[in-house]
C-alpha cells in the first residue's frame, strides 16, 4: 500500500531507498523476518525540497515575482531566504532570513501583517524592510491605518524623477515609533489626507496658453544654469510627491510636542495642497520655540478666505510662481525663470510675518496681504522688510486703518518696477550668450507666476532695452 507523506515514511526512504538505484521512483522494502512478511510500496511523489516542513504555510510563495504586480522603482522587494537542502540530510532543520528576522515565529508574525493587505498595497508593503521596529509599529494600527501608512511610506521612498530621492522608510518608521497612540493615529490620518490633496491637485493653466502638446507658447525661457529642470519645467507635475516628501521630512527632522503635532495635523487635514505646502515649509524652517506662534497664527487664518496667508506663502516654494512672462511688440512671449528663494531668505520672511503677528496682529497681516498678493514671489521678503522697517522708523504714518494701503501705493510700484528691470536684463544677457540669439524687441511685463497681471502696462525699461 502507499504510505502517506509522514516522518516515518520519510525515514524509511532515507535508510533504504537512497542506497538503491536513483532511477527508481518507488522501492519495495522487506521488514524483519521475525515479523509478518509484508511488502510496503513507498511512492516518492514529491521532490525532496517539498518534503521538508514549511513553517510559513506556503506564504513565502507570495514573494515570487509576478508580472501582475508593479515593481517599486528604487526600492528592494523583500522575500524569505532559506538555507539550501543538503541531499544527504534532507530533513535537517533549515535556517531562514526575512529582513532582519531569522526566527520563524517572528517571520510568521510579520507575514500576518502582510496578510492584512490586498493587491497593490500588499505588494507595496513587501518593499518595506521587515524589522522588529516596523512589526511593533504596524501592530498598533487598524487595517485602514496600515493601508494609509503603507501607501505614504512607499510614495515617499520610491524613486521619482526630478526629486531628491532617498529611501527614507526606515527613518520615517523610527520617527513614528516614538509617537504615542493618539499622535500616531493623528499622523497616519494626515498622511492619507495629504496624499488625497495631491491626487485632487490640478496644475494651473499657463497664463500665456499652451499648444496641442502641452508646451507653453514661448519664444525663449531664460534661466540660471543650476536650476532644477524637472521642477521648473511647466509640464512637470511633481507637487503631490513634493508635499508628501516635505511632510515626511518634517516628521523626521523637526521636534514637536504631542499636542503641537496633533494640532498641526488637524490644520493640515483641513487645507488644500497649496496651503499645506505653505504651512509645512514655514513650520520646517522656523525655530522649535516658534512652533506655538505658528500654530496660534494658524488658528486665526481663515482657510476659505481671501487673501489667505498660507496660499500666499506657498508661492515661495513654487517654481511657476517664480517665473515672469514678458511680451514683445510682435505679441510673442519670453520668460525669466528663477530658482526658488533659499532657506535662509524664506526663514527671514517667515520671521518677519511672525513678528508682525505677535506685535500687531492677524488683521494687520491680512491688510498687507491684500496689497502684496499678486506681486512676484521673489520680492515678498523685500516688501515685508521695507514695510516693517518703515513702521518702526515712522510710526506716526501707521496710525490710520488704511495706513498699509497708503504705504503700498507709495512703495510697491517702485520695488516691483526695479525688479522687472532686473528680470528683463537677465533675459537679454541670457539671449546674448546663446549660439543663435533670438531677435527680442522691447518688452513689457505681462504676468507673474500663476497669476495674470491686472494691468499689462509696460514695466520700466532697462538701459539695455532702450538702446
Q: Given its phi and psi angles, is residue 126 left (phi above 0), alpha (psi -120 to 50 degrees) or beta?
A: alpha
Task: Specify the pTM.
Answer: 0.83
Does 458 map to a domain? no
Q: Judge whether 421 and 427 are in contact, CB under 8 Å.
A: no
Q: What is the pLDDT of residue 406?
A: 97
Cell of 429: 544677457
**Cell numbers for 335:** 520668460
The pLDDT, as a whole number, for residue 3 is: 39
At 158 the pLDDT is 87
Per-residue CA distances from 450 to 65, 138, 374, 402 (Å): 45, 41, 9, 28
Element housing 312 (H / E): helix 309-314
Distance CA 338, CA 141 (A): 44
Compute the distance between CA of residue 423 and CA of residue 265 in angstroms, rounded to an integer. 39
427 is a domain residue: yes
Q: What are phi and psi of 455, to 5 degrees?
A: -130, 130
Cβ atoms within 10 Å of 158's Cβ, excluding its own: 19
Q: Does 350 fall in a domain?
A: yes
- 109 lies in a domain? no
348 is a domain residue: yes
Domain count, the chain: 1
Task: Please state, in angstroms and rounded to a whole number, the distance separating the CA atoms of residues 222 and 56.
Answer: 60
Residue 325 lies in a domain: yes
With beta carbons less than 8 A apart as the criterion, state whether 104 and 79 touch: no
Whether the CB-CB separation of 309 and 297 falls below 8 Å is answered with yes
Q: Does residue 151 sit within a domain?
A: no
Q: What is the pLDDT of residues 175-202, one digit of tens each?
A: 999 999 999 999 999 999 999 999 999 8
Q: For residue 443, what are the domain limits?
A: 218-227+319-451
Give residue 118's pLDDT.
Answer: 93
**Cα 209 versus chain centre, distance:** 29
Q: What is the DSSP string of 59-119?
A: GGGGGS--TTS---TT-PPP--EEPPPBTTBTTSPP-EEBTTB-SHHHHHHHHHHHTT--H
Order across the sheet with 451-452: list the strands.
220-222, 333-337, 323-328, 443-448, 451-452
The pLDDT, as a whole number, for residue 204 is 80
pLDDT at 52: 60
Residue 376 is predicted with a pLDDT of 95
- Kindly list the averaged pLDDT for each block of 10 residues, start to end, along the chain of length 467: 41 40 38 40 43 72 48 85 74 84 95 95 94 98 97 91 76 96 98 95 86 88 92 81 95 96 97 96 97 96 88 94 95 96 97 96 96 95 97 95 96 97 97 93 89 43 40
Closest CA relative to residue 368, chosen from 378, 356, 377: 356
Angle between helices 273-285 and 343-359 (to 10 degrees): 90
Reported as half-sphere exposure (CB side, CA atoms, 13 A), residue 222 has a value of: 23
Contacts of 253 (CB under 8 A, 6+ apart): 284
The verdict on residue 41 lying in a domain is: no
Round to whole Å and give the CA distance between 288 and 187: 19
For residue 287, count other CB atoms closer than 10 A to its CB. Answer: 10
The pLDDT of residue 60 is 65
Directed axis angle between helix 362-372 and helix 403-432, to 10°? Answer: 40
Amino acid at each position: 500500500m502507499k504510505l502517506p507523506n509522514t516522518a516515518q515514511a520519510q525515514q524509511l526512504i532515507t535508510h533504504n531507498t537512497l542506497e538503491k538505484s536513483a532511477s527508481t521512483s518507488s522501492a519495495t522494502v522487506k521488514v524483519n523476518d521475525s515479523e509478518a512478511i509484508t511488502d510496503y510500496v513507498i511512492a516518492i511523489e514529491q521532490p525532496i525540497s517539498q518534503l521538508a516542513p514549511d513553517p510559513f504555510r506556503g506564504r513565502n510563495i507570495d514573494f515570487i515575482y509576478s508580472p501582475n504586480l508593479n515593481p517599486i522603482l528604487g526600492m528592494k522587494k523583500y522575500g524569505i531566504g532559506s538555507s539550501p537542502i543538503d541531499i544527504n540530510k534532507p530533513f535537517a532543520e533549515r535556517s531562514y532570513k526575512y529582513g532582519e528576522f531569522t526566527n520563524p515565529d517572528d517571520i510568521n508574525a510579520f507575514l500576518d501583517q502582510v496578510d492584512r493587505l490586498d493587491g497593490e498595497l500588499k505588494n507595496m508593503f513587501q518593499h518595506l524592510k521587515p524589522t522588529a521596529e516596523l512589526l511593533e509599529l504596524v501592530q498598533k494600527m487598524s487595517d485602514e491605518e496600515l493601508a494609509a501608512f503603507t501607501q505614504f511610506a512607499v510614495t515617499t521612498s520610491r524613486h521619482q524623477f526630478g526629486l531628491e530621492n532617498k529611501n527614507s522608510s526606515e527613518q520615517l518608521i523610527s520617527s513614528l515609533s516614538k509617537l504615542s497612540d493618539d499622535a500616531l493615529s493623528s499622523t497616519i490620518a494626515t498622511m492619507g489626507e495629504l496624499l488625497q490633496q495631491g491626487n485632487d491637485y490640478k496644475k494651473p493653466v499657463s497664463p500665456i496658453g499652451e499648444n496641442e502638446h502641452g508646451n507653453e507658447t514661448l519664444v525663449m525661457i531664460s534661466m540660471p544654469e543650476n536650476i532644477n529642470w524637472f521642477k521648473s519645467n511647466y509640464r512637470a507635475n511633481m507637487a503631490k510627491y513634493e508635499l508628501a516628501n516635505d511632510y515626511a521630512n518634517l516628521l523626521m527632522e523637526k521636534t514637536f510636542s504631542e499636542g503641537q503635532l496633533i494640532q498641526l495635523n488637524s490644520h493640515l487635514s483641513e487645507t488644500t495642497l497649496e496651503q499645506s505646502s505653505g504651512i509645512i515649509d514655514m513650520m520646517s524652517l522656523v525655530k522649535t520655540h516658534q512652533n506655538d506662534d505658528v500654530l496660534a497664527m494658524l488658528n486665526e487664518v481663515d482657510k476659505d478666505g481671501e487673501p489667505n496667508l498660507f496660499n500666499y506663502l506657498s508661492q515661495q516654494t513654487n517654481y511657476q510662481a517664480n517665473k515672469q512672462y514678458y511680451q514683445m511688440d510682435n505679441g510673442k512671449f519670453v520668460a525669466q525663470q528663477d530658482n526658488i528663494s533659499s532657506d535662509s531668505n524664506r526663514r527671514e520672511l517667515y520671521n518677519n510675518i511672525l513678528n508682525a503677528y505677535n506685535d500687531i496682529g492677524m488683521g494687520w497681516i491680512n491688510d498687507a496681504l491684500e496689497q502684496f498678493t499678486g506681486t512676484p514671489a521673489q520680492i515678498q521678503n523685500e516688501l515685508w522688510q521695507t514695510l516693517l522697517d518703515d513702521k518702526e522708523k515712522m510710526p506716526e504714518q501707521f496710525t490710520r486703518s488704511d495706513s498699509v494701503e497708503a504705504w503700498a501705493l507709495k512703495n510697491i510700484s517702485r520695488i516691483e518696477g526695479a525688479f522687472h528691470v532686473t528680470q528683463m536684463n537677465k533675459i537679454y544677457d541670457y539671449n546674448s550668450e546663446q549660439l543663435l540669439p533670438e531677435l527680442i524687441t522691447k518688452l513689457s511685463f505681462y504676468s507673474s507666476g500663476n497669476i495674470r497681471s491686472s494691468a499689462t502696462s509696460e514695466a520700466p525699461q532697462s538701459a539695455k532695452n532702450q538702446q
